[in-house]
């Protein structure tokens, strides 16, 4: 995938994904833009806790992904990330886009109507990790599901910025460790 396409997809995630949340909550629930962003609740503690969770779970997921059972996946996540040839800026940018855009859509929007459990299942399924045609990929979905549940329930307890921090950190660690530019262990 070309870098320009990658950046376009990142920007779509950051800018377009939250639109249904903002429009839906404003139109149907009379919740304003600033309320959805929860800027008044933004704190180093919330963000820090989320980042810690994301880092810890990313390393846990990386350990699980080293299991031989995942060797026969037709398209491994590591291969896709390696082929993107990400720079440090790319890793940061894509992690911010996914963390902010997806959390605004799923935690602030979808979860408002469907609750944490169903939203988590939908989130993992949309990412292709619950695939009835590929049990190995579904196994990865089962590995990532507790993390998504933690950030979903964490959203309820700690707010949006906890979830954004966790999602950002998880993606950033995965991008950095899977990118050959930063991971010299082959």
Helix (H) or strand (E) holding 115: helix 111-126
Q: Report yes or no on 186 lying in a domain.
A: no
Binning pLDDT at 50, 70 and 90, where does residue 80 land? confident
DSSP string, 121-151: HHHHHHTT-S-TT-HHHHHHHHHHHHHHHHH
185 pLDDT more than 70? no
What residues make up the domain containing 37? 3-178
Q: Report yes or no on 143 lying in a domain.
A: yes
**What pTM was computed for the model?**
0.93
C-alpha span between 110 and 36 (Å, rounded)? 12
Q: Report yes or no on 184 lying in a domain.
A: no
**What pLDDT was estimated at residue 186?**
45
pLDDT tens for 7-43 read 999 999 999 999 999 999 999 999 999 999 999 989 9
Q: Report yes or no on 165 lying in a domain.
A: yes
Q: Report yes or no on 64 lying in a domain.
A: yes
Q: Report yes or no on 106 lying in a domain.
A: yes
Task: Please count the structural domains in the chain.
Answer: 1
pLDDT tens for 135-152 read 888 998 999 999 999 999
What does the block give as tokens for 154? 């964490």
């Amino acid at each position: 995938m070309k870098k320009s396409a990658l950046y376009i997809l990142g920007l779509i995630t950051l800018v377009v994904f939250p639109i249904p949340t903002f429009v839906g909550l404003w139109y149907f629930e009379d919740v304003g833009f600033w309320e959805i962003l929860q800027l008044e609740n933004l704190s180093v503690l919330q963000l820090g806790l989320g980042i810690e969770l994301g880092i810890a779970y990313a390393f846990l997921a990386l350990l699980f992904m080293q299991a031989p059972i995942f060797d026969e996946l037709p398209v491994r996540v590591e291969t896709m990330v390696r082929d993107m040839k990400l720079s440090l800026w790319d890793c940061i940018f894509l992690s911010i886009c996914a963390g902010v855009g997806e959390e605004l859509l799923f935690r602030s929007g979808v979860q408002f109507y469907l609750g944490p459990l169903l939203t988590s299942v939908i989130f993992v399924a949309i990412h292709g990790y619950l695939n009835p045609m590929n049990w190995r990929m579904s196994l990865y979905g089962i590995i990532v599901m507790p993390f998504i549940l933690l950030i979903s329930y964490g959203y309820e307890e700690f707010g949006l910025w906890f979830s954004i921090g966790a999602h950002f950190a998880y993606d950033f660690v995965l991008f950095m460790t899977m990118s050959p530019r930063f991971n010299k262990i082959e």
